[in-house]
Amino acid sequence: MSSKTVDQLSPSQRLGRGLKYSAVGPVDVTRGALGVGLDSVRSSAAWVGDRYRREQVARRLKADLASAQDAIVAELSAAQEVAAQLPDTLEKARRAGRAHRPLLLAGIGVAVLAGGAAAFVIVRRSSQPEPSPLPPSVDVAPKP
């Protein structure tokens, strides 16, 4: 059920519609072109800003990486110096350790004995029953 009625325009209506679309058409085209141009400029500005920020971050990362590499090199050289001096240091420690060894063994022995004595006293006290604070329920004195 389609409608077959077609509105017939009068010549003045047809002229008015034609002038309306002729006048509006170039305005719409101009507005559309300006809008596309402004969007393009805005997008380009955002791209340039992003690119600039990325470059700044990359520069900072390069500087941080260079300082970290310098720190690692310094630490490695210090570790190499310590490793080179390690045999001399161990030899000195061996010589110094021999003189203190009997004192160290005596100190360990005294500590073990003191610990054993403390453990013995604690075990001994815990195995004895504590006296009751209540009076005895049975007469303690034997009857004659």
Q: Per residue in 40-69, pLDDT tens?
A: 999 999 999 999 999 999 999 999 988 889
Model pTM score: 0.38
**Bigger pLDDT: 135 or 73?**
73
Reduced 3-state DSSP string for the chain: CCCCCCCCCCHHHHHHHHHHHHHHHHHHHHHHHHHHHHHHHHHHHHHHHHHHHHHHHHHHHHHHHHHHHHHHHHHHHHHHHHHHHHHHHHHHHHHHHHHHHHHHHHHHHHHHHHHHHHHHHHHHHHHCCCCCCCCCCCCCCCCC
Name the more confident of 59 and 6: 59
Is a pLDDT exceeding 60 seen at residue 1? Answer: no
Confidence label for 5 from pLDDT (cuts 50, 70 and 90)? low
Higher pLDDT, 127 or 5: 127
